[in-house]
Structure 1
Amino acid sequence: MAYGFDTLQIHAGAHPDPATGARQVPIYQTTAYVFRDAEHAAALFNLQEVGYIYSRLTNPTVAALQERVATLEGGAGAVCCSSGHAAQIMALFPLMQPGCNVVVSTRLYGGSVTQFSQTMKRFGWEARFVDIDDMAAIDAAIDDNTRAVFCESIANPGGHIADLRAIADVADKAGIPLIVDNTTASPYLCRPIEHGATLVVHSMTKYLTGNGTVTGGVVVDSGTFDWSASDKFPSLSQPEPAYHGLKFHETFGPLAFTFHGIAIGLRDLGMTLNPQAAHYTLMGIETLSLRMERHVENATRIAEWLEQHDRIAGVTYAGLKSSPVYDRVAKYCPRGASGLFTVKLKGGYDACVKMVDSLELFSHVANLGDTRSLVIHSASTTHRQLTPEQQQAAGASPDMVRISIGTEDANDLIADLEQALAKAG
């Protein structure tokens, strides 16, 4: 039977505990697991049998979360890890080698820009930044050493919606995967795999958990990419020395990337999600659709109000009819454009700082996707390490404030913004 999203967000991956009958997924706070015998242990280590060995690799609580997120995204499998940044490395790790490059959107979270432009150099990887709306530029940036295209479905901080189908077509023509960060949208608002994405990553820290208690990430594999169609992805298509010449794609088919992420990625990179965090995220996802509906409802109302305010020069919310990407909402995010956007203040940098300092109900934090409304001045914080040109391209110029609208009473949020804008002058 095909269940609806509201049912799957509660039941996918969750089964009564066979030992106790516990209905909620237990927190399996254990390091290791007892093998039935030596033969069983050998089969697990040879990837001949699926099971639990050591919690750096697999854990029942984490496994339930992986199944739930993969189901909600429409993927074949998923690998959870310690943060959204870890998920991005985990997504690229099986694809890249020294000398390879990835084509990346300029409209990314500031920390991601720094990770791609600076830290990845230490692996011998190159990031080529392009305007993700320019299909010709994406195509021109791809060469024989390109192994993926990377973008955000709804960009942080500006709320820009990417034309995923058009980008996927360019990637498909080049025989490389499209990786989409779906953090800001969540699978309730956008399902990138349905629009051609090969891999989907999340910072589960944000909307999936939804309450500011967890740091976690996940990589979801569509299971549709042919890793053996060329010699570009030897980690997945060629013999793996650590497993006696096993070929991941030949052996595991649609789950090749997922098994590699666990058996190689988590084994050697060790960016493991702890079971307590997995439990919190599972509980958060149970109310995902309810929260996202309120996030969208509040964000739409507040963005429309801000757009008419005499101290505001502009609002970037894609759900506004004035947005240049408003037509993409119906195609990619039919349930709404999430709860994240930026506002441009007529008073510039100083007014932004005064506004942020004057807010009372909004929390001034470096996070988004919480039930609480959050605010930050990106140019002086999350995007501080970027050049002015990079800040502008990312939608985080000095006269912009990023707002993550929560699930509180919209009237209270508007009143708080009104008094803060008055003080900002």
Structure 2
Amino acid sequence: MTDAPQYGFDTLQIHAGARPDPATGARQTPIYQTTAYVFRDADHAAALFNLQEVGYIYSRLTNPTVSALQERVAALEGGIGAVGCSSGHAAQIMALFPLMQPGSNIVVSTRLYGGTVTQFSHTIKRFGWSATFVDFDDPAAIVAAADENTKAVFCESIANPGGYITDIPAVAKAAGEIGVPLIVDNTSATPYLCRPFEQGAHIVVHSTTKYLSGNGTSMGGMVVDSGKFDWSASNKFPSLSQPEPAYHGLKFHETFGPMAYVFHGIAIGLRDLGMTMAPMNAFQTLLGIETLSLRMERHVQNAEKLAAWLEADPRVDYVTYAGLPSSPYAARAKALYPKGAGALFTFAVKGGYEACTKLVDAVKIFSHVANLGDTRSLIIHSASTTHRQLTPEQQEAAGAGANVVRLSIGIEDINDLIADLDQALNAATA
């Protein structure tokens, strides 16, 4: 579907990237469970390795099943191309890899998934990179935190765990003042609820493990490029604008134009880092995406009803769902996310840490797991699990305080979900 952008979202989520198999006519995308591909001849092999021809060499780099998923996610996000990788965490490193050098830094939101906070606070230092954490409700602070070594601005569209709504247009404007790309993790919103490129972002990352797959079976990540950032406008991004020694001095941006970032992600990133998506996982995620819009509608519908019920419950201190009229982010959510504020939020339990742990032990329908975006409703006490490595101050800044429980609302019967939390709250606060 080379003319895919003319189609609606519901059509793209089924058809983008999917073509009948040329060998067999199979209508569903096959699982190409192969490591390597036969070259037509020596000249064909040389052309592929020289990046003079696009094709399949080795499944660490490219695989037809993964390619179908890359094309589908890029179409849903409105991007020009994508790179599939092994997990959402891998996608974050892959997104930064073409941009960074030793001594480079990024400016990131304080409201991020705990694992991302750890990755940016500690792990990336081993590459000689660093991150400065800023409250993204203050765009001026983003600009103030940047210096000549800043290479990107990073945030989540709907932040995990609290469901905080990022003002992407305002953050994109700040990134423009710095002269760097804005990278948005769109995992919690999905392109059904939010299309960051239309709000000024340049690069989108996903943990496809979550809502895109929706079935809790398959790890994966995706990096999507808008194709709109000028990598040669300054000397900040030599990996893209300057000669690449590993390809005989080829200049990626000069040679590939808007596709430079994507080609670099495959030809350099996957080649050298090896964060490859498995074809079986790509297949499972393709199946999941076919029902994305239907699922997201029910996720949002259930989340709105459950959040309102919790807000009115005397056993609950507060609820962070931006879809509630009482939320300080309600107007922002309505303006930027008109189809809904997602299905991820937290609520504070009266009784603090101990009551929260009793609550997660008492649920029967909700699953106590370290995941989100499943068809099943999920629950976790972030302070003792996903955000455990953070300081209490970092936990509070991320919306994962000791008295807070995170919910990922599934697509079950809403009355059953309410009844389950009701009995669990009784057990937790008795």
Write the distance in 2 (CA, Å) between the matches of 1:332 and 1:185: 11
2:143 touches 2:177 (CA, 8 Å); kept in 1? no
1:183-214 CA deviation, whole Å, 9 max, x = no partner? 00000000001011110000000000001001
Aligned partner (choices 289, 293, 298) of residue 294 of structure 1: 298
Residue 240 (str. 1) matches residue 256 (str. 2):
no
Instruction: Please give the secondary structure, in 2, of the residue aligned with 1:242.
Output: helix
Structure 1 residue 264 and structure 2 residue 268: aligned? yes
The one-letter amino acid paired with 2:348 is K
**Which of residues 176, 187, 190 in structure 1 aligns to 2:191?**
187
Partner of 1:116: 120
Q: Distance in 2 between matches of 1:201 and 1:374?
A: 22
Give the letter aligned to residue 101 of structure 2: Q
Secondary structure of 1:127 counterpart: strand
Instruction: Show the counterpart of 2:415.
Output: 411
Counterpart-to-counterpart distance in 2, 1:59 and 1:349 = 46
**Distance in 2 (alpha carbons) for counterparts of 1:317 and 1:211:** 23
Question: Which residue among 102, 107, 122 is the counterpart of 2:106?
Answer: 102
Could you say which residue in structure 2 is the equivalent of 1:3? 7
Report deviation, 1:330: 2.1
Give the corresponding residue for 1:393.
Answer: 397
Cα deviation, residue 224, structure 1: 0.3
DSSP-derived class of the 1:351 partner = helix
Aligned residue identity for 1:101: N
Match of 1:371 among 356, 375, 396: 375
Residue in 2 that maps onto 1:164: 168
Structure 2 partner of 1:318: 322
In structure 2, which of residues 23, 26, 30 is the aligned counterpart of residue 22 of structure 1?
Answer: 26
Q: 1:50 aligned to 47, 54, 63, which one?
A: 54
Q: Give 2:148's aligned residue.
A: 144
- Identify the residue that residue 363 of structure 2 maps to in structure 1: 359
**2:82 maps to what in 1?**
78
Match of 2:203 among 193, 199, 209: 199
1:219 pairs with 2:237: no
- The 5-angstrom pairing of residues 323-342 of structure 1 reads 323-342=327-346
How far residue 346 of structure 1 moved from its aligned partner, in angstroms, is 1.4
Within the candidate set 174, 178, 189, 1:174 is matched to 178
Q: For residues 130 and 175 of structure 1, what CA distance do their matches in structure 2 show? A: 18
Moved over 6 A (4+): none
Gaps of 5+ in 1: none
1:331 CA drift (Å): 2.3
In the alignment, the residues of structure 2 paired with residue 331 and residue 201 of structure 1 have an alpha-carbon distance, to the nearest angstrom, of 22
Q: What residue ranges of structure 2 are gaps of 5+ in the alignment?
A: none
Specify the code of the residue in structure 1 equivalent to 2:34. Answer: T
How far is 1:136 from its partner?
Answer: 1.5
> Could you tell me how far apart the structure 1 residues matched to 2:97 and 2:290 are?
31
Q: Give the letter aligned to residue 362 of structure 1.
A: F
For residues 422 and 335 of structure 2, the distance between their equivalents in structure 1, rounded to whole angstroms, comes to: 33
Q: Residues of 2 paired with 1:170 and 1:340: CA distance?
A: 27
CA displacement 1:216-258 (0-9 Å, x = unmatched): 0000000000000000000000011111111111111111100
Q: Following TM superposition, by how much is the alpha carbon of 1:329 offset from its aligned partner in structure 2, in angstroms?
A: 1.4
TM-score norm. by structure 1 comes to: 0.99
- Structure 2 distance, partners of 1:130, 1:346, is 29
CA deviation profile, 1:11-48 (whole Å, cap 9, x unmatched): 00000001000000000000000000000000000000
Instruction: State the number of aligned residues.
Output: 425
Q: What is the distance in 2 between the residues matched to 1:175 and 1:219?
A: 20
Normalising by structure 2, report the TM-score.
0.98
Deviation for aligned residue 1:182: 0.3
Equivalent residue in structure 2 for 1:68, among 72, 78, 101? 72
CA-to-aligned-CA distance 1:257-288 (integer Å, 9 cap, x gap): 00000000000000000100000000000000
Q: C-alpha root-mean-square deviation of aligned residues, in Å?
A: 0.6
- Corresponding residue number in structure 1 for 2:348: 344
**Secondary structure, aligned partner of 1:389:** helix
Matched, 1:285 2:313: no
User: Per-residue CA shift, 1:376-425, capped at 9, x if unaligned?
Assistant: 00000000000000000000000000000000000000000000001111
Paired amino acid for 2:319: V
Residue in structure 2 matched with residue 250 of structure 1 by the alignment: 254
What is the DSSP-based 3-state SS (H/G/I as helix, E as strand, rest coil) of the residue aligned with 1:201?
Answer: strand
Q: Is the 8 A contact 2:87 2:207 kept in 1?
A: yes
Identity of aligned pairs, percent?
Answer: 76
Deviation at 1:332, TM superposition (A): 1.8
